[in-house]
């Protein structure tokens, strides 16, 4: 079965930028997040709950 035939709207290419402002204690190597910002452009979202879940997962991957 060709799964691509089931999609009627073609490929999607989301864009994202994440910026972290951190402070590192050089003595013990502790990291403190001062600010974390993420901006996403994914065109027209069909399911906003799924989009929010994807953004949360993406942020957690970057923090890790």
Q: In this structure, what is the dihedral angle of CA atoms 57, 14, 8, 48, given to the nearest 10 degrees?
A: 50
Domain coordinates in residue numbering, the chain: 14-63
Write down the pTM of the prediction: 0.52
Under 8 Å between Cβ of 57 and 40: no
The fraction of the chain above a pLDDT of 70, given in percent, is 77
pLDDT of 60 higher than 90: no
Under 8 Å between Cβ of 41 and 12: no
Residues 18-49: pLDDT tens digits? 888 999 999 999 999 899 888 887 777 778 88
């Amino acid at each position: 079965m060709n799964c691509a035939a089931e999609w009627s709207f073609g490929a999607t290419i989301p864009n994202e930028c994440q910026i972290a402002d951190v402070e590192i204690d050089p003595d013990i190597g502790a990291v403190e997040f001062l600010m974390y910002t993420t901006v996403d452009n994914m065109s027209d979202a069909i399911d906003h709950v799924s989009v929010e879940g994807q953004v949360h997962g993406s942020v957690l991957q970057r923090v890790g």
